[in-house]
Amino acid sequence: MKSSTLIFRSTIVIFILAGFAHYFTYANQSASTIKNEAEPLKSEMPPAANENVYGHEAHTSNSDIPLDQDPESKPEVRFLIGTWKVKYTSEEFTGAVVYKIKKEGSVYNAYTYRYEDENGYSEKAEEIKSLTIKPFSGNSAKGMYRIAYEGEKYEVECQIKKISDTSFSLSYDYYGYSDTETWKKQ
Partner 1 sequence: MIEFLSKKLDWIDVDYWFSILNEWSFVYIILPFFALELIRYTYLKQLSKDLVLDSLANIFTFGAFFTIEIILGLLAVTKAYFWIYQNFSLPHLNLNWATIISCVLLADFAYYWEHRMMHRIGIGWATHTVHHSSPHFNMSVAYRFGPLDAIMPILFSLPLVMLGFDPILVLLSEVFVQVFQTLLHTEVIGKFVKPVEYIFNTPSHHRVHHGSNRQYWDKNYGGILIIWDRLLGTFEPENEKVIYGISEPLNSVNPIKVFFHGLSRFFRKLKKIKGLPNKILAFVKPPDWMPDQKSIT
- Rounded Cα distance between 50 and 102, Å, is 22
b/e code 162-173 from CB counts within 10 Å (16+ = b): beebbbbebebe
The CA distance from 108 to 183, in Å, is 15
C-beta of 64 vs 118, nearer to partner 1: 64
**Which residues, numbered 3-22, are part of the site for partner 1 (CB under 8 A)?**
6, 9-10, 13-14, 17-18, 20-22
Minimum distance from CB of 71 to partner 1 (Å)? 6
Q: Does 62 bind partner 1 (CB under 8 A)?
A: no
Q: Which burial class, exposed, middle or buried, applies to 174 when counting CB atoms under 10 A from its CB (0-12, 13-18, 19+)? A: middle
Choose between 131 and 141: whose C-beta lies nearer to partner 1: 141
Task: Using alpha carbons, select from 55, 101, 99, 98 the residue that is nearest to residue 76.
Answer: 101
Map residues 90-109 to x or -, x wherever contact with partner 1 holds by CB under 8 A: ---------------xx---
Which residues of the shown chain bind partner 1 in the complex (CB under 8 A)? 1, 6, 9-10, 13-14, 17-18, 20-25, 27-29, 31, 71-72, 105-106, 134-135, 137-138, 140-142
